[in-house]
């Protein structure tokens, strides 16, 4: 089984690959149609969009920075010395 750091690197690798293949210069001059009505370049972009959505789900599962969640869960209500303006409650 892969450890958390390996999963994180794998997911970010997928993001990098999607960013590179997003520029589909190989379909610019291709006039063939998929399903008889959709240009192949548009179909490829639709597949890239679906893959990006699935990749974002993987990012939130395996590569989300947990320190942000811990930071957001902290409350400053226990410190009576802290000014209202310092907490951003203005």
What digits encode the pLDDT tens for the residues 45-87? Answer: 999 999 999 988 988 887 777 777 788 888 665 555 555 555 5
* CB contact set of 22 (below 8 Å; sequence gap of 6+): 45, 48
Q: Count of alpha carbons within 13 Å of 77, Cβ hemisphere only?
A: 3
**pTM of the predicted model as reported, rounded to 2 decimal places:** 0.63
Cα 27 from Cα 78, distance rounded (Å): 60
Domain boundaries, given as residue ranges, for the chain: 4-65
């Amino acid at each position: 089984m892969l450890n958390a750091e390996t999963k994180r690197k794998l997911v970010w690798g997928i993001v990098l690959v999607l960013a590179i293949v997003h520029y589909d210069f190989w379909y610019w001059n291709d006039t063939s149609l998929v399903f008889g009505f959709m240009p192949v370049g548009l179909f490829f972009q639709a597949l890239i969009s679906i893959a990006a959505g699935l990749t974002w789900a993987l990012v939130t599962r395996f590569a989300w920075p947990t320190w942000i969640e811990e930071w957001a869960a902290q409350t400053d209500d226990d410190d009576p010395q802290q000014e209202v303006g310092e907490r951003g409650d203005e």
